[in-house]
């Protein structure tokens, strides 16, 4: 009996790496990155939960060809528990689907945040990673889910509007919410050199105007196979595991599993919604 109690305590106290994947503008491939990274982490024996935090315009279930019966809306209204809402995805990943077309979830109330906190803290089987797929922009929900994450991955593309909007997102999180660690992921590039150029431009801007250093997490090459996978509602990692872009994502997944040298708190569930 004491051994069982000890195991239960150990499971309850397991640290969870909570990572938000965010962007200043839409259309940068953020959701596909989240889904494929989750799949790769799961293949690396890491229990991974995707939290679709694009409240009101959720789409993680669509790109995976899933039809969840319940979603975040039912949790926040008290109709269902988190355990009843989480569904299984490809490769053993778990998914907390969000709602689509429900306007009241585009800005969560304090009561809804507390309700979600209680449900997350009640999880008996905690994942190693929780990837939060935020919506794009700088609205209240985006700010909130980025604030509670231990790590923030900002996804950009070489488009000037993507860089401008990403800079605005970083500026608000840094100046108004004291977030200091940002990891840039450059998506849809043709070459590694192009990715480096994009990172240098962003790093120079944040360093010059904000006196803030950002990290280069990695890059993902433009991949025509991605569009084919989306049409088939399957993951690129499943259909085309040998694609060059998948090699890029594997490198990023390995980096996420490495111990952080930063003092940032990764035990996100414990401080979630405080």
Secondary structure E strands in the chain: 17-22, 48-53, 87-88, 94-96, 129-134, 151-156, 183-189, 215-221
CA atoms within 13 A on the CB side of 80: 16
Mean pLDDT calculated for residue range 22-33: 95
Residue pair 263/116 in contact by the 8 Å Cβ criterion? no
The residues, ordered by sequence, that sit 6+ positions from 225 with a Cβ below 8 Å of its Cβ are: 236, 239, 240, 243, 245
Q: What angle do CA 215, 221, 226 make, to 5 degrees?
A: 125
Q: Which pLDDT value is given to residue 103?
A: 57
Count Cβ neighbours within 10 Å for each residue of 240-252 and write b for 16 or more, e otherwise. beebebbebbbeb
Q: Which pLDDT value is given to residue 106?
A: 66
The tokens of 258 are what?
């490495």
Domains and CATH numbers, the chain: 15-47+87-93+126-271 (3.40.50.300)
pLDDT digits (tens, 9 = 90+) for 177-235: 999 999 999 999 999 999 999 999 999 999 999 999 999 999 999 999 999 999 999 99
The residues, ordered by sequence, that sit 6+ positions from 33 with a Cβ below 8 Å of its Cβ are: 21, 155, 185, 187, 220, 249
Q: Name the DSSP letter for residue 260.
A: P
Q: Which pLDDT value is given to residue 20?
A: 96
Please state, in angstroms and rounded to a whole number, the distance separating the CA atoms of residues 162 and 107.
23
Query: Percent helix, strand, coil in the chain (nearest 5)?
Result: 50, 15, 35
Tell me which of 87-96, 107-116, 164-173, 221-230 is least confident: 107-116
Residue pair 201/189 in contact by the 8 Å Cβ criterion? no
What does the chain come to in residues?
Answer: 274
Q: Which pLDDT value is given to residue 251?
A: 98
At 80 the three-state DSSP class reads coil
Q: CA-based Rg of the chain, rounded to a whole angstrom?
A: 18
More confident residue, 165 or 144: 165
Q: Which pLDDT value is given to residue 6?
A: 44
Is pTM, for the whole model, over 0.85?
Answer: yes
The tokens of 219 are what?
């890059």
Please state, in angstroms and rounded to a whole number, the distance separating the CA atoms of residues 185 and 254.
14
Residue pair 9/219 in contact by the 8 Å Cβ criterion? no
pLDDT confidence tier of residue 102, bands split at 50, 70 and 90: low
Other beta carbons within 10 Å of 152: 25
At 247 the three-state DSSP class reads helix
Q: Which pLDDT value is given to residue 5?
A: 41
Tell me which of 27-36, 134-143, 155-164 is least confident: 134-143
The helix or strand, by DSSP H or E, that contains position 220, with its residue range, turns out to be strand 215-221
**Cα dihedral sign for 109, 110, 111, 115?**
positive
pLDDT confidence tier of residue 4, bands split at 50, 70 and 90: very low
pLDDT confidence tier of residue 46, bands split at 50, 70 and 90: very high
């Amino acid at each position: 009996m004491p051994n069982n109690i000890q195991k239960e305590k150990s499971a309850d106290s397991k640290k969870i790496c909570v990572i938000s994947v965010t962007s200043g503008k839409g259309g940068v491939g953020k959701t596909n990155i989240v889904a494929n990274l989750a799949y790769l982490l799961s293949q690396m024996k890491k229990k991974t939960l995707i939290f679709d935090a694009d409240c009101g315009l959720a789409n993680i279930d669509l790109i995976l060809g899933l039809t969840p019966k319940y979603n975040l809306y039912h949790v926040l209204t008290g109709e269902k528990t988190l355990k009843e809402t989480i569904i299984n995805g490809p490769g053993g990943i778990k998914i907390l689907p969000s709602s689509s077309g429900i306007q009241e979830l585009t800005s969560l109330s304090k009561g809804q945040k507390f309700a979600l906190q209680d449900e997350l803290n009640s999880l008996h089987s905690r994942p190693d990673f929780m990837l939060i797929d935020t919506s794009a922009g700088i609205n209240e929900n985006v700010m909130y889910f980025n604030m509670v994450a231990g790590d923030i991955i900002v996804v950009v593309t070489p488009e000037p509007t993507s860089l401008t909007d990403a800079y605005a997102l970083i500026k608000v999180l840094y100046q108004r919410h004291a977030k200091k660690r940002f990891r840039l992921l450059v998506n849809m590039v043709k070459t590694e050199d192009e990715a480096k150029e994009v990172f240098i431009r962003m790093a120079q801007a944040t360093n010059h105007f904000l006196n803030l250093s950002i990290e280069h997490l990695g890059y993902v090459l433009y991949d025509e196979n991605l569009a084919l996978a989306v049409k088939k509602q399957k993951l690129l990692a499943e259909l085309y595991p040998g694609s060059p872009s998948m090699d890029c994502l594997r490198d990023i997944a390995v980096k996420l599993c490495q111990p952080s040298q930063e003092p940032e708190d990764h035990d996100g569930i414990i401080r979630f919604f405080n």
